[in-house]
Chains A and B, each alone.
Chain A
Amino acid sequence: MLQTTGKDAGVLVEMKGAGVWRGGQWLVRGVDLLVRRGEIVTLIGPNGSGKSTTAKIAIGVQKPDEGTVERRRPLKVGYVPQKVTVDWTMPLNVGRLMQLTGRLKPGEIAKALEAVGIPHLVRAQVQTLSGGEFQRVLLARALARQPDLLVLDEPVQGVDFSGEIALYQLIREIRDKTGCGILLISHDLHVVMAETDTVICLNGHVCCRGTPENVLKSPEYVRLFGARAGEILAIYRHHHDHTHLADGRVRLADGTISSHLDHDIHEAQGKPHA
């Protein structure tokens, strides 16, 4: 275990041995988790491994049936749940959705929408947005609150590949700029892990944890995701040998255009980002 569990002033949320019992089984059990200011903690794991449940315990949406959760008080949370649907009966434009849980100045709304790349949609009805656009709105809403803790449950689902990378870079920039803590759930391991301080690999319990490099090497991770996952989905480092085009295609250094980005291009590289 690489994570120190000593108490310090930067701790935003700390879970110890947390578990949730539903319908005759443990959804997750024995989860220890700590998020400090300025830290990105990523939860990975297969479907149904309890990633969302763990995040919900951390922010108090789900009460643990065993174990403890301590949150800093006051703790301002910005939450992007895994699934949000807005009923057609409710007229709701993007600007209004941004202010769902708190008032914002027009400038703050515009800035957050600008940051996620959809400044033109402020007056659009949310039901008319594409899946990717709606995810960007949800992310902008959580960012605009200037939270202490950002909890992002698959925040870029439905976003095209080039947009995905840009949004993860944005998430890291937010952390660098505001010093908030981030609890991130993602299955896009190759994109996410380079930006992450701590990875927690879940499968109903904590399989392994540590820095991305160490998790990739751990036998539990290999068992869960297969031997090739460690090689192919090695830590994503953004080589500047290609350009992401607006339509999601990629222009490589030799000028050829590829319809998708081959993982071989993003091979493992131990050096920090240039």
Chain B
Amino acid sequence: MLDDFFTRAVIAGIGLALVAGPLGCFVVWRRMAYFGDTMAHSALLGVALAFMLEINLTASVFIVAALASLALLILQRQGALSTDALLGILSHSTLALGLVLVAFMSWIRIDLMGFLFGDVLSVSRLDIAVIYAGGALVLLVLAWLWRPLLAATVNTEIAEAEGLQPERARLAFMLLMAAIIAIAIKIVGILLITSLLIIPAATARRFADTPEAMALFAALAGAAAVLGGLFSSLHFDTPSGPSIVVAALVLFLLSLLRAPWRASPASSQAGGST
């Protein structure tokens, strides 16, 4: 029943989900969902530039997404506009620039739908190697950065005062986001990348009482969504990328039913009785 391309899709998707879960937790904690969208939209500009300059697609997307986040940092320092307005400008202008560049290159036919929504069923063995090598690197750096990044997320001033260099952690985190977007673009596509970051993390929130547990559960929820989405796309003949996101959404809705809001006070009472 498992054709070769389908097995590859499952392996690639799970690899991506395992990395997206922990990173997505930080996106949720830091309230950066719109920032993730902006970086993902800038990826289309990266795709267009890759074709125009004939360079590696993943590298090009990574560089453009990283530059977009650097541009945001610099514009934020100027302080003339609010962050969400700046993100709106960056997000839509990089997406539009990408589309315009693609239109100029009449000599190349680019499957835009493929980049907007991804095509996990077309991943090659090389793609899988890139996902696992790149993903392992991202996770290693994240593990190394974990304490300073988490401290900076809870309170930048404590992190700064106690010597954890939150600015450096934040910059490194932006590079990790650029990396995951570059890795993910082929699988779920530009428009759905942030959903794979955010929805499994939101699902995991109800079951975790520490940040580390939430990161682990988010990775598992993402992997489950990939499995569920891919099998149902095979069964119902639906597009794979959106099916994965729908499966993630179903898991999130289930988590709302299973874990009521009183989870937190209950755990404090349990602590009190010991």
Contacts and interface: CB of A to CB of B under 8 A. Distances in A.
B162 interface: yes
A124 B159 contact: no
Given A100-B151, A102-B162, A89 B29 contact: yes
B108 interface: no
A91 B157 contact: no
A49 interface: no
A146 to B, nearest CB: 12
A100 B202 CA distance: 22
Main SS at interface, chain A: loop
Contacts of B264: 125, 127-128
Nearest to B158: A79
B162 A77 contact: yes
A93 interface: yes
A102 B146 CA distance: 11
B161 A77 contact: yes
Contacts of A61: 157, 160-161
Contact of B267 (A89, A96, A124, A151): A124
A263 B161 CA distance: 36
Contact of A125 (B31, B162, B268, B272): B268
B211 A124 contact: no
B205 A91 contact: yes
Contacts of B7: none
Interface in A55-105: 56, 59-61, 76-79, 81, 84, 86-87, 89-94, 96-97, 100-102
A59 B160 CA distance: 9
Contact of B271 (A56, A79, A86, A123): A123
B214 interface: yes
Contacts of B28: 89
A182 to B, nearest CB: 14
Contacts of A97: 154
Contact of B157 (A81, A92, A124): A81
Contacts of A120: 271-272, 274
Nearest to B31: A87
B214 to A, nearest CB: 5
Contacts of A123: 209, 267-268, 270-271, 274
Interface of A: 56, 59-61, 76-79, 81, 84, 86-87, 89-94, 96-97, 100-102, 120-125, 127-129, 145, 151
